[in-house]
Amino acid sequence: MSTTLRENPVEQFLRTDRMPHIWCPGCGIGTSVNCFARAVLECGIDLDKLCIVSGIGCTGRVAGYLRLDSFHTTHGRAIPFATGLKLANPDLHVVVYSGDGDLAAIGGNHLIHAARRNIDITVICVNNFNYGMTGGQVAPTTHHEKVATTTPYGDPEYPFNLPDLAASCGAVFVARWTTYHVVQLTKTLVKALNKKGFSFVEILAPCPTLYLRRNKLGTSVDLMKYFKEKSVIKHGANTKEVGLETYDKEIIVGEFVDIDKPDYLDNYNEIMKKRLGDKFQPWGR
Amino acid sequence: MAEIKWTTADPKGVLTGAHYIDGNHAACEGALAAGCRFAAGYPITPSTEVVERFAARIPLVGGMFIQMEDEIASSICLQGAVWAGLKAMTVTSGPGFSLMMEHIGFAAMTETPCVFVNVQRGGPSTGTPTLPAQGDMQQARWGSHGDYETILISPSSPQECFEFIIDAFNLAEIYRVPVMFMMDECVGHMTEKVVIPEPEKIKVVERRWTDKKPGEYLPYQPDPEDLVPYMVKAGDGYRFHITGLTHDERGYPAATDVEIHNNLVRRLCEKITKNAHKIWKWEEKDTDDCDILILSYGISARVALRGIELAKERKGIKVGLFRLIVVWPMPEQRIIELAEKVKAIIVPELNIRAQVAREIERIVKGRCPVIPLGHAGAGVHNPEDIYNAIVEAAK
């Protein structure tokens, strides 16, 4: 009997010479990368034109593990870097892949402005409810009253409703899945990658080492069960209603927003053409 | 042998002719002549005219300007554009410059060629938004955390804003560093005749593109001669990685490796210090047999001319002027030569902490007295004060 060894189809997207990766056993980031790699396989985009930009943090390390043109930038600033990359060469497909602390806390200002401008990039936000890289501090996504090292007696704040934030600022595609929903997530990522304009995908993911342990929420397997049991798929849900204020609330997942409107460059070129006529050469079109 | 490819300016960006414009407008025209095709900025007095002119001109030249949500965003947005293949800059002042510090370090670490224009105003904090200072000269060198070297250029007139910002872009490309173009409110808002030459008379440096193929190319393998690595851009199939972490020649993080960190940081500094003689630029006036040397830069060097005249007219004192154009790195050998001949070196500048004078002291090492002549800014020196300092030093 002979055995045929088959290469994992996502291996071509990974910098295997950098493995093993730094993520803890049970962490959800690797699952998200697997889904992303499969989405890349399906999306039909020329891989030489696909760029990954990350900020800082556990998810910030994604850029370093993907065999694409990849940029590991500064904390919170992946989106403005991606904006420069995309506007300077509109032929590129630019994906920002970072964490909740990076994108919603220190980088929150850039998130809302990129969505408002409708810059043609895809933002993937892995939300593990706390700061992993620095050891489990409170994030703007931490559930109300849950414990982190900088809120040892419980978080008095309320978390961001990230899909609603992105949608209300003008994102044309907004979705949320958990790392339990690998099939749905992969399909959604294919759509997000091919969507023109600012697309935002939130991926809820377990952080077993810090968030689950400190809050006595069990293992990653327990969190998978929690994701499975608490999740309700509601495509087109009103994003006002998808907030995750407390841990026991139902988790609404699905594709919430999918609209079409001109992106930044469409508007830029149209306005310049109107005012400058033949003196203006459309940029990147 | 490091290969630097010189070419001439793209005619699209060159507004050949005589103009009557201020330093801010001239800096913008110089950037366009140098081939800058992307700028990201945020309005701040007294630099705003640069972004305004950029916004008006760039659609006609074939480039892109975007006003970002803050200076932090501007200072990293432009670096995205550089890695997409364009020459890029940002411009700011005072508080905005402080906000950009982290990304000056990112550009230094990732060796991203770019230009930061700082039209200096008085500080600390909000300070004197509409009035000049030269109080960011040390911040421009050391403001971002960690060890690195950069290049500082200081123009004294609108004509020089045009000419020397072209040098800034060329040096940024040759050494792959963020170059600090250190203007001040006075030069920025001074309106004078600016002559822009024909494009074929403007020399510009092309990016140091690699001639290696994907698979052979190492993003941070330095040229053995000048220690600068060669570049690629996104979208060309190299599948390269760039990080602000300490990295090896592949560009992969090596943030716990002492040897790699040591070699990298030393190279980032040495590519400037070892090539300094190719970067220096200064101007001397009457230094052959002077007794007193005025050493200055930017608007202060220009104001000092009147103080020098007064000393000659009233007292017959022989005073020379040494004007730094590239303020950092400094032409140490020449400064030492002069220090051995003169009675004293006076350093007028618009800061009171002797930000450049202390460097001169370090270089001169007691060969002659170095007299800082500080002014807190919000104005320029009264030439009488410079005259008085000369008379005092000549006693």
Nearest by CB to A69, from B38, B40, B235: name it: B235
Residue A59: burial class (beta carbons within 10 Å; 0-12, 13-18, 19+): buried
Check whether B217 has a pLDDT greater than 90: yes
Nearest by CB to B242, from A48, A72, A109: name it: A72
In terms of DSSP bridges, do strands B87-92 and B282-285 run parallel, antiparallel, or are they unpaired? Answer: unpaired
Q: How high is the pLDDT of residue A8?
A: 87
Residues in chain B closer than 8 A to A73 (CB atoms)? 76, 106, 244
Q: Do A48 and B81 touch (CB under 8 A)?
A: no
Q: How high is the pLDDT of residue A5?
A: 82
Residue A82 sits at the chain B interface (C-beta within 8 Å): yes
Nearest by CB to B239, from A67, A71, A280: name it: A67
Q: How high is the pLDDT of residue A211?
A: 97
The model's confidence at residue B1, banded by pLDDT at 50, 70 and 90, is low
Q: Domain limits of chain A?
A: 11-260
Beta bridge partners of B89: B39, B115
CA distance B78 to B97: 14
Q: Do B68 and A89 touch (CB under 8 A)?
A: no
Beta bridge partners of B345: B293, B370
Q: Do domains B6-205 and B282-394 have the same CATH topology?
A: yes
* Average pLDDT of chain B, as a whole number: 97
CA distance A85 to chain B (A): 4
User: Cα–Cα distances in Å, from B328 out to A222, B89, B287, B360, B390?
Assistant: 59, 19, 21, 11, 25
Residue A224 sits at the chain B interface (C-beta within 8 Å): no
The share of chain B scoring above pLDDT 90, in percent, equals 99
How many Å is the maximal CA-CA distance in chain A? Answer: 73
Helix-strand-coil split of chain B, %, nearest 5? 40, 25, 35
How many CB pairs below 8 A link A and B?
A: 131
Nearest by CB to B80, from A81, A113, A276: name it: A81
Residue A249 sits at the chain B interface (C-beta within 8 Å): no
CATH number of A11-260: 3.40.50.970
Residues in chain B closer than 8 A to A40 (CB atoms)? none
Residue B41's contacts (CB-CB under 8 Å, 6 or more residues apart) are B50, B51, B54, B65, B67, B68, B74, B90, B91, B92
Write down the ipTM of this complex. Answer: 0.97
The string of pLDDT tens digits covering residues B18-35 is 999 999 999 999 999 999
Nearest by CB to A84, from B77, B237, B240: name it: B77
CA distance A220 to A208: 6
Q: Domain limits of chain B?
A: 6-205, 282-394
Q: Do B81 and A88 touch (CB under 8 A)?
A: yes
Mean pLDDT of B374-393: 98
Q: How high is the pLDDT of residue A278?
A: 95
CA distance A255 to A233: 9
Is residue A52 helix, strand or coil?
strand
Q: How high is the pLDDT of residue B229?
A: 98
Mutate to test the interface with B, among A73, A75, A97, A102 (most CBs of B within 10 A): A73
Nearest by CB to A113, from B60, B69, B239: name it: B69
CA distance B29 to A57: 40
Give phi and psi for B34, each to the nearest 5.
-75, -10
CA distance B209 to B230: 6
CATH 3.40.228.10 corresponds to the domain B6-205: no
Residues in chain A closer than 8 A to B56 (CB atoms)? none
Site of tokens 């630097």: B4
Residues in chain A closer than 8 A to B213 (CB atoms)? none
The string of pLDDT tens digits covering residues B270-310 is 999 999 999 999 999 999 999 999 999 999 999 999 999 99
CATH 3.40.50.920 corresponds to the domain B282-394: yes
The string of pLDDT tens digits covering residues B121-158 is 999 999 999 999 999 999 999 999 999 999 999 999 99
Return per-residue pLDDT of chain A as tens, 285 residues. Answer: 567 788 888 888 899 999 999 999 999 999 999 999 999 999 999 999 999 999 999 999 999 999 999 999 999 999 999 999 999 999 999 999 999 999 999 999 999 999 999 999 999 999 999 999 999 999 999 999 999 999 999 999 999 999 999 999 999 999 999 999 999 999 999 999 999 999 999 999 999 999 999 999 999 999 999 999 999 999 999 999 999 999 999 999 999 999 999 999 999 999 999 999 999 999 987
Cβ pair A170, A113 in contact under 8 A: no
The string of pLDDT tens digits covering residues B338-348 is 999 999 999 99
Per-residue exposure over A228-256, b if at least 16 CB sit within 10 Å of its own CB, e if not: eebbeeeeebebeebbbeebeeebbbbbb
Check whether B91 has a pLDDT greater than 90: yes
Whether omega before B199 lies within 30 degrees of 0, making that bond cis, reads no
Q: What is the CB neighbour count within 10 angstroms for residue A266?
A: 16
Q: What is the CB neighbour count within 10 angstroms for residue A152?
A: 9
Q: Do B103 and A64 touch (CB under 8 A)?
A: no
Q: Do B76 and A82 touch (CB under 8 A)?
A: no
Q: Do A87 and B81 touch (CB under 8 A)?
A: yes
